[in-house]
Structure 1
Amino acid sequence: MGAHSRTRIVVIGGGIAGLHSAALLARDGHDVTLLEQRDEVGGRMGTWRSEGFTFDMGPSWLLMGSVFEHAFRMLGTTMERELDVVRLDPAYRVWHAGGEPVELRSDRAHSEAVFEGIEPGAGAALGSYLDSAEHVASLAVDGLLYNRFESPASLRGTGVVREAGTLARLLLEPLSRRIDRTVTDERLRQILGYPAVFLGTNPYAAPSMYHLMSHFDLVDGVGYPVGGFGTIVEAFARLAAAHGVAIETGARVSTIRVVDGRAVGVEVDRGAGTESLDADVVVAASDLHAVETRLLPERFHARGERRWAKATPGPSAVLVLLGVEGRVPELAHHSLMFTGDWREGFRALDGTVPWPGGDANIYVCAPSRTDATVAPEGHENLFVLVPLPADASIGHGGIDGAGDAAVERIADDAIAQIAQWTGATDLADRIRVRRTIGPADFADWFDAWRGTALGPAHTLRQSAFLRGTTAYRGVDGLLTAGQSTVPGIGMPMCLISAELVLKHVRGDRSVGPLPEPPVDAVAPVDEVGA
């Protein structure tokens, strides 16, 4: 396969990784069909509307904005053309049990001043920490994230080789240990440690390499797309279609056909029986566990089950979508609430101790603090995330309290915690719209392994080149994209995984971002059907 060879490509999964993979491949001249089993594209980046509220049902932090900009430029456009992204100020507010909240901005000087005000000497210590975080982030982008990892030679010519000793130490040392050397105040340790949850793990299990995340939230900036994160899905779906991708929803793939060790197409059920669709390349932008244990022919299943038996899942969650009459001014756009013994909370997430109930380490997003379009005037839109063990048996969510008992009880506890910690004691009485989503919903909707909300955790064994490769080993012509594979969890990583797919189809073994093509001229209005 080369850049000028036209191939028939089937992409399984219409999340952001599948949409971007399909768009990139179609722009390169290939015949691309995208199959999504649900009735709408977006995957975990779903949108739900009710009574004038627009709720994001998945990601709600826009970090690493340069990755989004690059992704759009690879499709001949810009992020400014496609989205209205605002920089949040404050970036987020952190609540600690029994204490006053701490407000952070994506501003290095401000962050250092906040740390210094809480712990003398912590400002300078944070400065050194952020210097390292920026340096490691640069190494990661240049040598690790956009790397197909098909052989050890893939690291040659990168800063990764020159600083192999440093990176080895960062991979072997847990993030918590590096944080503990930097600051002593527990509140500051929590601020530096919470980004590990974005990676499906915790600061006690994540390699300290991931302190790079603090560069993105404390310096680089936290963004928000006006209209909600569904606008990102709409943008990539629009661009995919404009470049010629045939997008089919309600099309569930039941089998990836493999002949003589090569993927040759899929069996797909569009609601009227199963049909065969031939392909030269199949891109699985879906849950990799489902690919290995259900979609591939049965002879592959035992190997897949053995591999996943050794894997570590990221957490699941109960999501609570609340339409609230009146405001909750104590909340910022992003608010994090941490209990006093948050390590015990992480132990509950991995099943080491039973789930305690009551107050928990939770996240609350109030996009209506920034965006008037997501709630009726004078109302608040709240998205609450309670991390949980990856266990689909916890149950399904529902509308107006109709979810399974365990899920609704967790939601009730979270609402009570928000009310108590913020002083909004009448919060429960002002709820006009309520919907919960549980681990079993992730399993049913997205074939999510063990009901995880994120994918395999970024532990040492599941990071960088140890996480896997874009080309599925053992089946030629089968490529993988999305949170289950390299480079990992999160919207930016999913966009990068799509570019790795493009590199493979082109036969490109470079290790950094691909050169960006010129931005396309804006089409006249009558040419785009407006």
Structure 2
Amino acid sequence: MKKTIAIIGSGFSALAAACYLAQQGNDVTIYEKNESIGGRARQFKKDGFTFDMGPSWYWMPDVFERFFQDFNKKTADYYDLIKLNPAYRVYFGVDDFINIYDNLEEIKSTFENIEKGSGNQLETFINQAKSNYDIAIKDLVYRPGVSPLELVTAETILKLNQFLSNVSHDIRKKFKNEKLIQILEFPVLFLGAKPTKTPSFYNFMNYADFGLGTWHPKTGMFDVVRGIENLALELGVTIKTNASITKIVVEDKIATGIIIDGNIIKANIVLSGADYHHTETLLDEKDRAYSEKYWQSRVFAPSSLLFFVGFNKKIENITHHALFFDVDFNQHAADIYDNPKWPDAPLFYANFPSKTDQTAAPEGMESGFFLIPLAPGIQDNEELREEYFEKIITRFEKLTQQKIKNNIIFKRSFCKQDFETDYNAYKGNAYGMANTLLQTAFLRPKLKSKKVSNLYFTGQLTVPGPGVPPALISGKLVAELIQKSFRS
């Protein structure tokens, strides 16, 4: 039977869920508080420059293909992909960097040249990571986190020890060179926790990196947003922007609609792809499944200080993606997770999309995106933002051996306060809730409200976790739960 479904937010998980729910034959409308869709994956344009405001790494291409295949489509029907080579560069000092290429053989050779014997060790490690990837991404993450028994399979029983150890420990057993260790530890940072707190099983992220490669949609990650939007529209989804929800209507413990601008919009199902904590504040306290104490006790992935910068010249000695690990990796991690504070010497990431996409900047110019991971919930003001921009640009100039400060046409910053204002993000987090052992699968906030019938959730605070591919999966999982509820 056809149902009316109101979806709050238009990030990847909400867009994906909308497609699945419309495919089921429902009347689906997305309500987005901002003026453009995409959630954290919005696009920003200024003076001929174009920036993705959020996700910039296209990993796990098989997950995107699987999503579109569910609608008898393929990614190429909606956007084109370019495989980056090198995938990225990691700077450790002046004239001291490592390129990660687009195939395992070259990466093995790079490792071997740095640490004798590490090439064969890497091959063994990536083979194990691929085995975990096949179990996790092709099976486990497509389970809704309803029961701990979802994790009990013949394959996971054989890998039980990998849930009891951590990524950092396993890497350090195989590799001794600190630079190689940091490169191998880097991918799990996408999961939102320190490598020492991330179960070894999650080394499947290394296969996503070295095995499947780093890709770039032809004109940026917003191509993917636009592609899924077009699919949703083809399926009959209605999308409304500048529609901020102030209340979820609950009658007799049943969600019956939402309130926008004082107007009640009736719905058989309410699904939120917005921040989970924020969504529950749209309910009366008695209808909330999780207390403030619960949220405060959770390990959240970092927030970020972002800079979108337009340069009036081409930047040299840089790749599309670049990581700057020329400072203490462990100390910055401690400043995020152990004793939250602004780091004295921050790691940072730089992304120059115009190296791949000529439409990202005017001819002869460059668009640059800089990111510093920060602890969620810390102080944020313009003075601190400027101080840290000066820190990273000074280091960038030194490490890439060029002057660029005087070539900045404009810059826009985005930090914790903006994550709170634009996305209602709890503590200004950028990546959701970390995937630690005690925050995995059934131990994450539920897709289905435990207190209110016909109220559902999707996105990075619920199952399966942070990242764009998991967001697409989350949308599928919640749509299946909703469909199942129709049958019961």
Asked if the contact 1:392/1:440 (under 8 Å) is kept, the reply is no
In the other structure, the counterpart of 1:379 is 365
Of 233, 236, 259, the residue aligned with 1:241 is 233
Q: Quote the residue 1:52 is aligned against.
A: 48
Counterpart of 2:392, as a letter, is A
| Partner residue, 2:247 | 255
- Mark the CA change 1:83 to 1:15 in structure 2 (over 3 Å): closer, same or farther: same
* Deviation digits for residues 100-144 of structure 1 (CA, Å, limit 9, x no counterpart): 110111311111111111000111111111011000011102331
The CA distance in 1 between the partners of 2:471 and 2:226, in whole Å, is 16
Moved more, 217-226 or 473-482: 473-482
1:523 paired residue number = none
Match of 2:472 among 495, 517, 530: 495
How far apart, CA to CA, are the structure 2 residues paired with 1:461 and 1:345?
Answer: 23
**Residues 17-45 of structure 1: CA deviation (Å, up to 9, x unaligned):** 11111122112210111111111111100
Residue 253 of structure 2 corresponds to residue 276 of structure 1: no
Structure 2 stretches of 5 or more lacking a match?
A: none
2:398 corresponds, among 417, 420, 445, to 420
Q: How does 1:29-68 map to 2 (within 5 A)?
A: 29-68=25-64
Return the match for 1:289 from 277, 283, 294. Answer: 277
Listed as ranges, the matches of 1:82-481 within 5 Å are 82-98=78-94, 100-155=96-151, 160-269=152-261, 274-292=262-280, 294-301=281-288, 303-352=290-339, 354-357=341-344, 359-391=345-377, 393-395=379-381, 404-424=382-402, 426-481=403-458
Distance, in Å, in 2 between the alignment partners of 1:309 and 1:360 is: 25
**Shift in alpha-carbon separation, 1:499–1:354, aligned structure 2, 3 A:** closer
SS in 2 for 1:455: coil
Separation (CA, whole Å) in 2 of partners of 1:109 and 1:268? 55
CA contact (8 A) 1:289 1:304 kept: no
Q: How big is the shift at 1:153? A: 4.8
> When the two structures are aligned, how many residues end up with a matched partner?
486
Sequence identity (%): 33
Normalising by structure 1, we get a TM-score of 0.88
Amino acid in the other structure paired with 2:404 = L
Provide the aligned C-alpha RMSD in A: 1.8
SS of the residue corresponding to residue 40 of structure 2 reads: coil
Distance 2:282 2:437 in 1: 28
Amino acid at match of 2:398: Q
Tell me the distance in 1 between the aligned counterparts of 2:340 and 2:4. 49
Q: Matches of 2:272 and 2:89 in 1, distance apart?
A: 38
SS in 2 for 1:163: helix
Structure 1 residues 145-192: Cα deviation after superposition (integer angstroms, max 9, x where no partner): 11013234545xxxx511334443222212110111110100000000
Aligned-pair distance for 1:99?
Answer: 5.4
Q: Classify the secondary structure of the residue corresponding to 1:507.
A: helix
Q: Give the conservation status (yes or no) of the 8 Å contact 2:52–2:221.
A: yes
Amino acid at match of 2:356: T
Q: Secondary structure at the match of 1:38?
A: coil
Unaligned runs of 5+ in 1: 396-403, 509-530
1:326 positional shift: 1.7
Asked if 2 retains the 8 angstrom alpha-carbon contact of 1:318 and 1:411, the reply is no
User: What secondary structure sits across from 1:308 in the alignment?
Assistant: helix
2: CA distance, partners of 1:493 / 1:69: 13
Confirm or deny: 8 A CA contact 2:145 2:443 kept in the other structure. no
Structure 2 residue aligned with 1:517: none
Amino acid at match of 1:318: L
1:340 positional shift: 4.0
1:74 and 1:268, CA in 2 relative to 1: closer, same or farther beyond 3 A? same
> What is the TM-score normalised by the length of structure 2?
0.96
